Amino acid sequence: MLLEEITKAHAAETRPTAYINARLIDPATGLDEQGGVLVADGKIADVGRHIHGEIGGDTALIDCGGAVLAPGLIDMMVFTGEPGAEHRGTLADASRAAAAGGVTTIICMPDTDPVIDDVALVDYLLRRARDTAEVNVHPLAAMTKALAGEEMTEIGLMQAAGAIAVTNGKLSLANARIMRNVLAYAHDFDMLVIHALEEPTLSSGGVMNSGEVSLRLGLKGIPAAAETIMLERDLRLVEMTGARYHAAEISCRASLEIIRRAKEKGLPVTCGVSINHLSLNENDIGPYRTFFKMRPPLRTEDDRQAMAEGLASGDIDVVVSAHDPQDADVKRHPFPEAADGAIGLETMLPVALRLYHNGDIPLASLLRPLTSNPAGILGLESGKLAIGAPADLVIFDPAVPWVVDAETLHSKSKNTPFDEARLEGRPLLTLVAGRIVYRYAEDRNS
């Protein structure tokens, strides 16, 4: 059967299924060859050149028509409105957007109402995810109560309840003593600490990158130094404590240099970049377009190029969507008063493919920070085409051209900076634990 023919009925297939005639890309091993994947019992039963049309027995066959078959994407930074702001977005619609974007695992930020800072809330979120989400959901727990940066949360207990790492969410923990204590304590549990980078006293009042554009627009700027100061401080504390540390999002060339040096020193440090900072720059704000208002702010074109270089060189470990649903009520304001954030789950892979089409980065290297790298950092079994790994897979055509229409995206909030963007490449089929959770053929016809 061809991919285009798959319908809901086939999606419920429980027999072992062979996905054949695919371009297999396994970023973990660098594998890039024609072949197939055999899926059984929700896991990858076999993979390689020898999986082709002649497989007999009870096995269902699906012909990928030469499309790329890769591990499903793992997105380390997803905000949802659940709990507290379900009108902006829920786990359910984030999950549908993820599936449509080839993302099979989402890591949810604790910036909700209430903040995920307690064992019961971690448990609640996991139960909601089980009941309403079709992709894998792992919660991040707040590392300080209410993200206020003052009292440490029950990191060990929340880890036991299923929190995959701790973070202070969108906010940087300004108090260095408390940050030191959190790092030292998290280290005892081998708990990863994910941290946003913004020295708040330097960025105070700022609404976009500080520079010529902010000067022209008469908007208060956030200097890149607000990011590098916080990053340098954190790295000193990592040196003191030995904690595993992940810089949530870097956005400027100077931060990349700092990360590079820290890695040369052998510190247990990784970093992420958002798809927005890989593909957009401050000029995109143009006449005060609030869908391009985000934190960290879009920086200069030189910074954007640095992010692409850092991705190609491997110094940047992870690409995130930073999916942050905001509705018109908070976006349709004068720029300084509008909310930060952009949705991105559904467009992350197609936008990332721009870097591949531009020749900035080979396909396997592009997929690594979207799959095997986050899996490694978070200790997940997925993110690779390996026998026994969960059958979390995406089949995508890297070349098909399409135009983004915000209204047809699956996210409840439509605040995409890529509305009407011309993109090349999109997911055709997404599987979570062997189950089909997204079919482009059906999406297109609906």
Partner 1 sequence: MSIAPLTSPPPFAHRHLLGIEGLKPPEITFLLDLAEEAAHAIRHPAAERDALRGRTLINLFFEASTRTQSSFEFAAKRLGADVMNMSIRTSSVQKGETLIDTAVTLNAMRPDLLVVRHQAAGAVELLSQKVDCSVINAGDGAHEHPTQALLDALTIRRHKGRIERLIVALCGDILHSRVARSNILLLNAMGARVRVIGPSPLLGGGIERLGVEVYRSMEEGLADADVVMMLRLQRERMSTALIPSSREYFHFFGLDREKLSFAKPDAIVMHPGPINRGVEIDSVIADDQRSVINEQVEMGVAVRMAVLQALAPHLQSQA
Can you give the binding site for partner 1, defined by CB under 8 A?
210-212, 215-220, 287-288, 329, 332-337
Contacts of residue 348, defined as CB under 8 A and 6 or more positions apart, other chains included, come to 73, 75, 101, 103, 275, 319, 321, 370
Identity of the residue, 156 or 336, whose beta carbon is nearer to partner 1 in the bound complex: 336
Minimal distance, residue 304 CB to partner 1, in Å: 18
Instruction: Let me know: does 137 contact 108? Beta carbons within 8 Å.
Output: yes
403 Cβ contact list (under 8 Å, min separation 6): 420, 421, 422, 423
Q: Which is nearer to partner 1, 151 or 329 (CB)?
A: 329
Angle at 366 between CA 364 and CA 371, to 5 degrees: 80
Residue 39 CA, chain-centre distance (Å), reads: 25
Angle between helices 225-241 and 176-188 (to 10 degrees): 50
What is the β-pairing status of strands 136-142 and 103-108?
Answer: parallel
CB of 20 to partner 1, least distance (A): 52
- Residue nearer to partner 1 on the CB measure, 210 or 371: 210
Q: How far is CA 429 from the centre of its chain?
A: 19
Cβ nearer to partner 1, comparing 206 with 374:
206
Q: How many CB atoms lie within 10 A of CB 162?
A: 16
Closest CA to 41 of 62, 80, 20, 15: 15
Shortest reach from residue 99's CB to partner 1, in Å:
33
Give the residue with the Cβ less far from partner 1, 56 or 218: 218
**Is the CB of 3 or the CB of 219 nearer to partner 1?**
219
Which is closer to partner 1, CB of 334 or CB of 359? 334
DSSP 8-state secondary structure symbol assigned to residue 162: T
Cβ proximity to partner 1: between 190 and 329 the closer is 329
Residue 5 vs 212, nearer CB to partner 1 = 212
By three-state DSSP, how is residue 72 classified? coil
Alpha-carbon distance 122 to 157, whole Å?
10
- DSSP-derived 3-state class of residue 185: helix
Decide: helix, strand or coil at residue 18.
strand
Q: How many Cα neighbours within 13 Å face the side chain of 20?
A: 17
Find the shortest distance in angstroms from Cβ 417 to partner 1: 17
Beta carbon of residue 252, minimum distance to partner 1 (angstroms, whole number)? 15
- 3-state SS assignment for residue 215: helix
Residue 403 CB, nearest distance to partner 1 (Å)?
23
Smallest distance, partner 1 to C-beta of residue 5, A: 46
What is the distance between the alpha carbons of residues 44 and 54, in angstroms, rounded to a whole number? 18
Nearer to partner 1, 160 or 215 (CB): 215
Q: Compute the distance between CA of residue 74 and CA of residue 335 in angstroms, rounded to an integer.
A: 32
Answer yes or no: are the C-beta atoms of 340 and 292 closer than 8 Å. Answer: no
- Shortest Cβ 220–partner 1 spacing (Å): 8
- Minimum gap (Å) between residue 251 Cβ and partner 1: 18
Distance (Å, rounded) from C-alpha 287 to C-alpha 9? 48
* φ, ψ of residue 138 in degrees (nearest 5): -125, 125
Minimum distance from residue 288 beta carbon to partner 1 (Å): 3
